A and B are shown apart, each in its own frame.
Chain A
Amino acid sequence: MSENINYLTTIGLEVHVQLKTKTKIFCGCSVDSESEPNTNVCPVCLGYPGALPALNETVVKYGIMTGLMIGSKINRYSKFDRKSYFYPDMSKNFQTSQFDLPICEGGSIDIELEDGTRKSIGITRIHLEENAAKNFHLVKMSGVDFNRAGTPLIEVVTEPEIESPEEAYAFLQAIRQIVVYTGVSDCNLELGQLRCDVNCSVRPEGQVKLGERTEMKNLNTFKGIYNALQYEIERQKDVLRSGGTVSQETRRWDPDAGITTVMRTKEDAHDYRYLPEPDLMPMVFDDEYLEELRSSLPELPAKRRERFVVAYSLPAYDAGVLVAEKPIADYFEAAAKLSKNPKLVSNYMMTEMLRILSETEKDISEVTMTPEALAKLSNLVDAKTINSNTAKKVFDILFNEGGDPEKIVNENGWAQVSDTGAIEGFVDEAIAANPKSVEDYKAGKVAAIKFLVGQVMRFSKGKANPQLAESLLLEKLQ
């Protein structure tokens, strides 16, 4: 009987995102993650006696910008706190973080599932904090590299409103897109620039009170989080189905075995003993400052996609592809604004630009072709000055060498012939040279006309406007 019970899942995420600064949050050491161990360290990030934190203003700015992007309330008065936590990766044995007055509270992030379902996930808070050092686990001992200690993080905490691993996955994609878009993080997963603590619980349908939850810490791939959640949710359901109870505990995800195991039980939970950080002064934000940051924000990707659909008459799918990365979207929009046919620009972006970029492993910022050139190219096609085959050739030249498309077309004599008189000559030549096809057409083989158009193109050396050629042929063969 109990196997018929339906279970509801509740998931909350704490997402740690490393901000894109030159230096650490409290000292002038580099955040470069590729350096030799313990070379980007100083008395501050090593927690030396007497060293004091000095707050990086860019970290504060980026924290607020993220909050503004997702509609958070920015706390006009915010402060740092010491969170006591003894661990070798914490150089002071407390983490300088934010407790009761985080920089942002509230807000939401919209997600879209593969089946097109949309949902808004509430955000509880965003706070600023320092990253921990990196532990290396050897056979009989461990070693600590403090290069990462003190690199700046925001922690984004969601409301427990995520209801499936799929939603969690979509949320992570959405938040990554937003922070990358805003320019506050590169969110490079391989470099550990996004890490996530995951809480989840299940409860029988109809029960209002949430089930007992477990936590998995420090997951750093989207796929890992998805798999861990799938496993953990099923595990919890099994426990409940067999009449057991889920206990509140921290579990470890083992990606190789594909299972979660107990790491810490509630009994040895920490007493963080938060203390308002006496070494850092409070942050107070006025309207002017917030307005200045607000005006510097980019459009949210989801909003931009909707706008592209309307403003440039793009299919939703195309708009989604174009807005996925801000530099691509910016490039497209710069060209689209100058073009008489934005849809054409979109086509060149989707079919040519993105393909070549991925083949050549180039970034759009390295491309020599300007958005103006792309716009002109689209206008040439739109005006039927060149046909689509010629346009591809021009695109390749522009991509590799840059330059002005009109000039390229003129110098190569690629402009298509749209003069009826000139094309008529080629049409007559084609009819004269292919009596068999003419017969076929007259006998009802409609496809023969395509062959004849091809012949016109051949005689014109590709310059004839194919639509015009076809019209003339049809007229003459009537």
Chain B
Amino acid sequence: MFDIKNLDITGALVLLDSGEITSVGLTQALIDLIKAEDSKYNAYLTLDEEYALAQAAGADAKRAAGETGKLLGIPVAIKDVLNVEGQVCTCGSKILEGYVSPYDATAIAKLRAAGAIFLGRTNMDEFAMGSTTENSAFQVTKNPCNTDYVPGGSSGGSAAAVGAGLAIAALGTDTGGSIRQPACFCGCVGLKPSYGRVSRFGLTAYCSSFDQAGPMTKTVKDAALLLEVMAGVDEYDASSAPVDVPEYTKHLTGDLTGMTIGIPKEYFIDGIDPEVSRTVKAAIDKCAELGAEIKDISLPLTDYAIATYYIIATAEASTNLARFDGVRYGARAEGATDPIDLYKKTKAAGFGEEVKRRIILGTYVLSSGYYDAYYGSAQKARTLIMQEFDKAFEDCDAMITPISPVPGYKIGENENDPLKMYLGDIFTVTANLAGICGLSVPYGKKDDLSIGVQILGPAFKEENILKIGDALERK
């Protein structure tokens, strides 16, 4: 038998190729495991057994016929925000209850073409708005490291599933840290690709100019492998970049000689949990030991990142979420007297508090008389932040920073203090503002909570951060 909880993609492919297991066997084993144990974590919203087993049988037949595929027969858990044809896609919201997607997201289509199996959909903060997954309309997901704690968010379901061993790998999305922070909390690897690296077509938009889908895995190598499959320009997404996709897995040499790693001093401020600081410092030391040059750098605009991020993200969200009105799909309120009344009632009943709060903030910053002071200024601030990162990356190949100031939040801890929650995103939102890539790799612990470090790289230099992450993983 195999240790399914610790099985990664690379290991599973070896077993499948050797014939030791079949994809049907693997998929069934995972389904059984999820059924037995997920009640402890509530990582999955839905399991699509029939769909997954049929796909698995197809993969086994292909393998028997001598066909290959980078992910042939590998089950992957999908955050409930990415469209998979024929599956539900609630985005953690009651407003999309009953919606069945008629199409594949491009990232999903690429995984499908590589042979991946879509066995279930993972929980998330409603429309990816949140840092704890407590904003899901359906269930509270628990951190597998300690079930009194949140798994982080918004991709908390995917992080918990991978962290608990209930998924071999998963997809998340990251708009302001939603892959990296939950990966950090749940002890798994999370990669936010550069903006434009992975097509957003089929990713239900929260903030169109920040959103990116990316892998959440047990190893850095698996993340590299998934990114190789998902990345690339897409004619359905005008913002996807026509930049070649390297074979990321070939960059994972363990040797950091010749690399320069910047340490931005603004990311090491008072109020950070000492164990978080210690973990990040240990990782920096390790990189030095492996041959990297460490350099102190400064990103003075960091202090303005949260304000800039929340203005732009909510402004775009207020328009992106306008479409959920109960006319063409999704839930619809009863008893409306006219269409506007229908919208008002449908949104009132369908959206949760955090989503409503952000729609109102976003509507406000775009409204007549306030645009210049808020949205207009935030767009300019973004320009400065982008320039600051461009400049900083002239002197280094990557940066290492903490991900979250704290190792975790207890469930319910921040329920009525949204601003405090927003401020917790301080180390992650900058990557989204600047469009660069970021990787979260587990590197320490505080009691039973996991602590990760963040490695930031220039846009379209995922190989830099994957190489460093992989080297750290080898400790």
* A52 lies within 8 A of B201 (CB): yes
Chain A residues in 8 Å Cβ range of B339: 86-88, 142
Chain B residues in 8 Å Cβ range of A47: 323, 328
**A120 smallest CB distance to B (angstroms):** 34
Chain B residues in 8 Å Cβ range of A87: 339
Q: Mark B190-223, 1 if CB is under 8 A from A, else 0.
A: 0000000000111111001100000000000000
Interface residues of B in 328-372 (CB under 8 A from A): 328-329, 339-340, 343, 363, 366-368, 371
A49 to B173, CA, bound (A): 15
Q: Mark A351-383, 1 if CB is under 8 A from B, else 0.
A: 000000000000000000000000000000000
Of the listed stretches B37-45, B162-170, B176-184, B236-244, chain A binds: B236-244
* B319 lies within 8 A of A49 (CB): no
Interface residues of A in 48-62 (CB under 8 A from B): 48-55
Interface check A449, CB cutoff 8 A: no
* A92 lies within 8 A of B363 (CB): no
Of the listed stretches B96-104, B271-279, B458-466, chain A binds: B96-104
Chain A residues in 8 Å Cβ range of B367: 271, 273
A54 to B202, CA, bound (A): 13
Interface residues of A in 246-300 (CB under 8 A from B): 271, 273-276, 278-281
Given contacts A50-B203, A52-B200, contact A92 B366 (CB under 8 A): no
* A273 lies within 8 A of B105 (CB): no
Given contacts A94-B322, A275-B319, A278-B208, contact A49 B96 (CB under 8 A): yes
Q: Which of A54, A84, A93, A279 contacts B208 (CB 8 A)?
A: A279
Chain A residues in 8 Å Cβ range of B368: 271, 273
Given contacts A91-B328, A278-B239, contact A86 B203 (CB under 8 A): no
Chain B residues in 8 Å Cβ range of A92: 319, 322-323
Q: Which residue of A lies closest to B364 (CB)?
A: A273
A305 to B48, CA, bound (A): 69
Interface check B122, CB cutoff 8 A: no
Q: Which of B201, B316, B322, B379 contacts A50 (CB 8 A)?
A: B201
Chain A residues in 8 Å Cβ range of B91: 49
* A52 lies within 8 A of B238 (CB): yes
A234 to B343, CA, bound (A): 39
A43 to B208, CA, bound (A): 17
A84 to B362, CA, bound (A): 12
* A275 lies within 8 A of B202 (CB): no
What is the interface of chain A mostly: helix, strand, loop, or mixed?
loop
* A279 lies within 8 A of B239 (CB): yes
Q: Which of A50, A84, A88 contacts B204 (CB 8 A)?
A: A50
Interface check A127, CB cutoff 8 A: no
Chain A residues in 8 Å Cβ range of B203: 50
Chain B residues in 8 Å Cβ range of A82: 319
Interface check B83, CB cutoff 8 A: yes
Given contacts A51-B201, A86-B340, A271-B367, contact A279 B238 (CB under 8 A): yes
Interface check B226, CB cutoff 8 A: no
A258 to B91, CA, bound (A): 51
Chain A residues in 8 Å Cβ range of B319: 82, 84, 92, 94, 273, 275
Interface check B32, CB cutoff 8 A: no
* B316 lies within 8 A of A93 (CB): no
Q: Which of A86, A142, A275, A281 contacts B325 (CB 8 A)?
A: A86
Interface check A46, CB cutoff 8 A: yes
Q: Which of B237, B238, B315, B343 contacts A86 (CB 8 A)?
A: B343
Q: Mark A427-461, 1 if CB is under 8 A from B, else 0.
A: 00000000000000000000000000000000000
* B366 lies within 8 A of A273 (CB): yes
Chain A residues in 8 Å Cβ range of B315: 275
**B335 smallest CB distance to A (angstroms):** 13
Q: Mark B221-255, 1 if CB is under 8 A from A, else 0.
A: 00000000000000111110000000000000000
Interface check A144, CB cutoff 8 A: yes
* A49 lies within 8 A of B83 (CB): yes
**B173 smallest CB distance to A (angstroms):** 11
Task: Report the interface size for chain A: residues with CB under 8 A from the other chain.
Answer: 32
Given contacts A46-B328, A93-B322, A94-B319, contact A52 B237 (CB under 8 A): yes
Chain B residues in 8 Å Cβ range of A51: 103, 201-202
* A48 lies within 8 A of B322 (CB): no
Given contacts A82-B319, A91-B328, A93-B323, contact A49 B99 (CB under 8 A): yes
Q: Which residue of A lies closest to B235 (CB)?
A: A54
A301 to B316, CA, bound (A): 45
Interface check B89, CB cutoff 8 A: yes
**B103 smallest CB distance to A (angstroms):** 5
* B327 lies within 8 A of A144 (CB): yes
Interface centre among B236, B237, B379 (most CB of A within 10 A): B236
* B322 lies within 8 A of A84 (CB): yes
Interface centre among A88, A91, A144, A276 (most CB of B within 10 A): A88
Q: Which residue of B lies closest to A92 (CB)?
A: B323
A82 to B99, CA, bound (A): 25
Interface check B82, CB cutoff 8 A: yes
Q: Which residue of A lies closest to B199 (CB)?
A: A52
A274 to B208, CA, bound (A): 15
A47 to B204, CA, bound (A): 11
Interface centre among B81, B328, B340 (most CB of A within 10 A): B328
Interface check B309, CB cutoff 8 A: no
A163 to B429, CA, bound (A): 55
Chain A residues in 8 Å Cβ range of B325: 86, 93
* B329 lies within 8 A of A278 (CB): no
Chain A residues in 8 Å Cβ range of B327: 88, 144
Interface centre among A88, A273, A280 (most CB of B within 10 A): A273
Q: Which residue of A lies closest to B203 (CB)?
A: A50
A94 to B105, CA, bound (A): 22
A88 to B315, CA, bound (A): 22
A48 to B366, CA, bound (A): 23
Interface check B267, CB cutoff 8 A: no
A87 to B324, CA, bound (A): 12
Chain B residues in 8 Å Cβ range of A146: 328
A93 to B82, CA, bound (A): 21
Interface centre among B96, B201, B367 (most CB of A within 10 A): B201
A91 to B235, CA, bound (A): 22
A98 to B187, CA, bound (A): 46
* A50 lies within 8 A of B82 (CB): yes
Interface check B375, CB cutoff 8 A: yes
Chain A residues in 8 Å Cβ range of B237: 52, 54, 279
Chain A residues in 8 Å Cβ range of B208: 278-279
A93 to B327, CA, bound (A): 11
Given contacts A91-B328, A273-B367, contact A43 B322 (CB under 8 A): no
A39 to B96, CA, bound (A): 23
Q: Which residue of A lies closest to B108 (CB)?
A: A50
A92 to B319, CA, bound (A): 8
Chain A residues in 8 Å Cβ range of B379: 276
Chain B residues in 8 Å Cβ range of A49: 83, 89, 91, 96, 99, 101, 204-205, 323-324, 329
**A272 smallest CB distance to B (angstroms):** 8
**A80 smallest CB distance to B (angstroms):** 10
Q: Mark A67-89, 1 if CB is under 8 A from B, else 0.
A: 00000000000000010101110
- Could you list 5 examples of A-B contacts with CB < 8 Å? A47-B323, A49-B324, A51-B202, A52-B238, A94-B319
Closest 8 CB pairs of A and B: A93-B322, A49-B204, A273-B366, A278-B208, A278-B209, A50-B202, A47-B323, A50-B204
Given A47-B323, A48-B83, A50-B204; 17 other pairs, CB 8 A cutoff: A47-B328, A49-B204, A49-B205, A49-B324, A50-B81, A50-B200, A50-B203, A51-B202, A52-B236, A52-B238, A82-B319, A84-B366, A86-B339, A87-B339, A92-B322, A275-B319, A281-B238
